[in-house]
Amino acid sequence: MTRLAACQYAIELIDSWEDYVAHLSALVRQAAEDGAELALLPEYSALTLTGLLPADVRSDLHKSIDALQPLLPAWLELCEELARSHGIVFQPGSAPVKELDGKYRNRAWLFGPDGLIGYQDKQIMTRFEREKWNIAAGVEGLKAFDTPVGKLGILICYDNEFPMLGRKLAELGVELVLAPSCTDTLAGAFRVRIGAQARALENQYAVLSSPTAGEAPWSPAVDENRGRAALYVPSDYGMPPSGIVAESESDNVVDSHWLITDIDLGAVAKLRTEGQVATRRDWPEQFDV
């Protein structure tokens, strides 16, 4: 069995680097002490760092992401150290990153006990990201990451709503998909949930979801947040009929909470050959209809 931790992460106003280090360190330590081998934070979790900026900067959408950039190296160093010190796989959510072509991309890094494993950029942008924020799509495609808990893939929020992205990860041999998300309405939260469950059903793998939570009126980007942390699997032998292994109790919280749950990824993999259905195997047949 593998123990997973997915955070329902409240975007708090933290106005000093020292307080932020204490905040993130305590949060990750809690997951590790609960036995988690993998800890997941949500999309745009790094925007908590914009609380360190002057009020007139953090309250401006474009100024805030530009001023965030110098803070990211220290944040990544902290995340790597937390993964190393606790001996866990740690996906600390994502951040908008300015690249050499001048474009921002929504990037999620993955760390392990030995340090940086890699990163995944979001593939398809929401209307807010395209029309308001000018975030560009990733250009390196989807990746699979070999980790101590198995082969992982990352679908960031909206990417979970596109079947061919989930299928690509299946073709890469992914066993568990990490789905960090950030949605400001229940409708958005349900879109990600429905998409994540559909990807688990179609591809016969597990999907772990972590959302932002609560309200942050000081931030123009993540001011309202709704969603539940959850672990989804195919509805099949040995799995919950609903396909929901675990889910946080409420979609609207004010403090960060971990959802701690166990999963036998080998049992999920066995469904691909011995399940009631063979959706992964039968996937190509739909194109002949």
CA angle 184, 188, 194 (to 5 degrees): 150
* Residue-wise pLDDT tens digits, 2-42: 999 999 999 999 999 999 999 999 999 999 999 999 999 99
Question: 22 lies in which domain range?
Answer: 2-288
Domain total for the chain?
1
How many helices and strands (H and E) does the chain possess? Answer: 9, 15
CA-to-CA dists, residue 280 to 169, 179, 269, angstroms: 12, 20, 11
* pLDDT value of residue 252: 78
The answer, yes or no, to whether residue 90 has pLDDT greater than 90, is yes
The answer, yes or no, to whether residue 271 has pLDDT greater than 90, is yes
CA angle 103, 143, 9 (to 5 degrees): 70
The answer, yes or no, to whether residue 251 has pLDDT greater than 90, is no
* pLDDT value of residue 228: 95
* pLDDT value of residue 154: 98
Percentage of the chain lying above the pLDDT 70 cut: 100
* pLDDT value of residue 258: 97
* Residue-wise pLDDT tens digits, 122-149: 999 999 999 989 999 999 999 999 999 9
User: What would the two tokens of residue 25 be?
Assistant: 């360190």
CATH, residue 229: 3.60.110.10
* Residue-wise pLDDT tens digits, 203-226: 999 999 999 998 989 898 888 899
Residues 77 and 255: their CA atoms lie apart, in Å, by 25
The answer, yes or no, to whether residue 254 has pLDDT greater than 90, is no
Is 217 exposed, middle or buried, given 0-12, 13-18 or 19+ CB atoms closer than 10 A?
exposed
Find where tokens 């959302």 sit.
Answer: 211
Rounded CA Rg of the chain: 18
* Residue-wise pLDDT tens digits, 146-186: 999 999 999 999 999 999 999 999 999 999 999 999 999 99
- Lowest average pLDDT, out of 50-59, 139-148, 239-248, 249-258, goes to 249-258
| Mean model confidence pLDDT for the chain | 96
How sure is the predictor about 253, in pLDDT bands with cuts at 50, 70 and 90? confident
